[in-house]
């Protein structure tokens, strides 16, 4: 989990950011995407990326992540403030749940490539890094 800068005060509001050269941003950003209007009974994700690295921010709402590594070890993370980011290296299965107002912002190390996905958990757990 990454603490992001929080510039401002309650009377003005805040700016948080990541930029090239930040030690907490260990890759060059090649894609930015955001997801929204996800009903809160829906679980998204359910895939792993082989190489893609990501930093995820809940710019609004609350987002719960379960990450599973190739050994099957589970870790839970809650993103509930826009000044926190979750760094996900390659090689993690993810399951994601959203509050109804959640907006997920993703900074990604590469452009979209379906070939980088594993969408079967058993295949992922048997896969080589």
Instruction: Give the phi and the psi of residue 95 in degrees, each rounded to 5.
Output: -125, 130
Rounded least distance, CB 38 to ligand TYD, Å: 8
Question: Smaller CB distance to ligand TYD: residue 3 or 43?
Answer: 43
- Token pair of 55 as six digits: 């930093």
The verdict on whether 47 is a catalytic residue reads yes
Q: Catalog residues that contact ligand TYD under the rule CB under 6 A.
A: 31, 33, 35, 44-45, 47, 112
Q: How far apart (Å, rounded) are the C-alpha atoms in residues 78 and 122?
A: 25
User: Which residues, in sequence order, are bridge partners of residue 107?
Assistant: 32, 55
Rounded least distance, CB 106 to ligand TYD, Å: 7
Q: How far apart (Å, rounded) are the C-alpha atoms in residues 76 and 65?
A: 6
Question: Smaller CB distance to ligand TYD: residue 6 or 31?
Answer: 31
Query: What are the catalytic residues?
Result: 47
């Amino acid at each position: 989990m990454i603490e992001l800068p929080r510039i401002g005060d309650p009377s003005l509001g805040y700016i948080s950011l990541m930029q090239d050269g930040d030690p907490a941003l260990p890759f060059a950003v090649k894609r930015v995407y955001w997801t929204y209007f996800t009903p809160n009974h829906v679980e998204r994700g359910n895939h792993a990326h082989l190489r893609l690295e990501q930093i995820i921010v809940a710019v609004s709402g609350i987002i719960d992540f379960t990450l599973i590594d190739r050994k099957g070890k589970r870790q839970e993370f809650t993103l509930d403030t826009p000044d926190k980011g979750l760094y996900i290296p390659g090689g993690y299965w993810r399951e994601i749940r959203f509050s109804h107002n959640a907006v997920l912002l993703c900074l990604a190390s590469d452009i979209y490539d379906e070939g980088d996905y594993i969408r079967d958990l058993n295949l992922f757990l048997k896969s080589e890094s």
